[in-house]
Amino acid sequence: MTTTSTNESSKIRLLLVDDQALVRGALGALLGLEPDLEVVGFAASGGEAAAVAADLRPDVCLMDIQMPGTDGIVATRAVLGAAPSARVLIVTTFAKPGYLRAALEAGASGFVVKDTPADKLADAVRRVHAGHRVVDPELAEASLFEGANPLTERERQVLRRAGEGLSAPAIAAEVFLSAGTVRNVLSAAIGKIGAKNRTAAARIAHDKGWL
């Protein structure tokens, strides 16, 4: 019969979710050096994260935001649905107030940037696991001044495609709306953002993390 020592059983079990193998490996190596932390699994995409979390039941999931396909915001909801006892700590390069708000609304317990020193990242993991909320202080302050994302889901969807250079008819074909409706949605989004045109609106919304 295999026994587990008290020290082993008391370790905080981590799941690392990032589409870049180098980042996953580096984070895993750094956090694995901590005596009370144990990396139990990895996921290379947001879409894969929930299934891995359901299987491994980690204590804390370290989640990237910008990943192909399912992003970290959607993946956070999925992970918490699959493993309700887990906590999610966002670890991202993109320190945008809009991302912070969206992550917290999705149920994340913390939000830090990838250049956070290893000891502070490990401490953030411990605090999140203990039930505390951990947020980069500068980003938290910026989020207060920026305000909430004013765009609806439809406006984000359409504006995201406009930012890719698609015309109203092309967007309409993708989102199953009429070209006129797409123009109305774009007009509403531009007005909320206070931009001169759809290109500027898409750029501003992207910079703020609203898309």
Domain membership flag for residue 1: no
Task: State yes or no: pLDDT of 115 exceeds 90.
Answer: no
Residues 140 and 157 in one domain: no
Domain membership flag for residue 48: yes
Task: State yes or no: pLDDT of 39 exceeds 50.
Answer: yes
At which of 101, 126, 145 does a domain end? Answer: 145
Residues 88 and 192 in one domain: no
CA dihedral angle for residue 168, residue 151, residue 191, residue 158, rounded to 10 degrees: 0
Cα torsion 102, 129, 13, 55: sign: negative
Residue located via tokens 């495609």: 161
Residues 52 and 127 in one domain: yes
Domain membership flag for residue 44: yes
- Residue 45 and residue 78 in contact, taking contact as beta carbons nearer than 8 Å: no
Task: Return the amino acid letter for 70.
Answer: T
Residues 122 and 159 in one domain: no
- Residue 76 and residue 102 in contact, taking contact as beta carbons nearer than 8 Å: no
What does the alpha-carbon distance between residue 57 and residue 15 come to, in Å, rounded to a whole number?
Answer: 9
Q: Which domain holds residue 92?
A: 6-145
Task: State yes or no: pLDDT of 18 exceeds 60.
Answer: yes
Task: State yes or no: pLDDT of 107 exceeds 90.
Answer: yes
Determine the pLDDT at residue 38.
96
Domain membership flag for residue 43: yes
Residues 178 and 97 in one domain: no
Residues 79 and 46 in one domain: yes
Residues 160 and 138 in one domain: no
Task: State yes or no: pLDDT of 142 exceeds 70.
Answer: no
| pLDDT band, very low/low/confident/very high, at 5 (cuts 50, 70, 90) | very low
pTM metric for this prediction? 0.68
- Residue 56's CATH number: 3.40.50.2300
* Across 36-49, average pLDDT: 95
Domain membership flag for residue 67: yes
Cα torsion 20, 25, 28, 31: sign: negative
* Across 94-108, average pLDDT: 84
Write the DSSP string, the chain: -----HHHHTSEEEEEE-S-HHHHHHHHHHHHTSTTEEEEEEESSHHHHHHHHHHH--SEEEE-S--SSS-HHHHHHHHHHH-TT-EEEEEES---HHHHHHHHHHT-SEEEETTS-HHHHHHHHHHHHTT--EE-HHHHHHHHHH-S----HHHHHHHHHHHTT--HHHHHHHHT--HHHHHHHHHHHHHHHT-SSHHHHHHHHHHTT--
- Residue 171's CATH number: 1.10.10.10
Q: Pairing mode, if any, of strands 134-135 and 87-92?
A: unpaired
Higher pLDDT, 106 or 9: 106
Task: State yes or no: pLDDT of 26 exceeds 70.
Answer: yes
Residues 52 and 136 in one domain: yes
The number of domains in the chain is 2
* Across 86-97, average pLDDT: 87
Residues 56 and 104 in one domain: yes
Residues 49 and 117 in one domain: yes
Determine the pLDDT at residue 2.
32
At which of 145, 171, 188 does a domain end? Answer: 145
Residues 32 and 91 in one domain: yes
* Across 160-189, average pLDDT: 89
At which of 145, 165, 183 does a domain end? Answer: 145
Q: Mean pLDDT, the chain, as a whole number?
A: 87
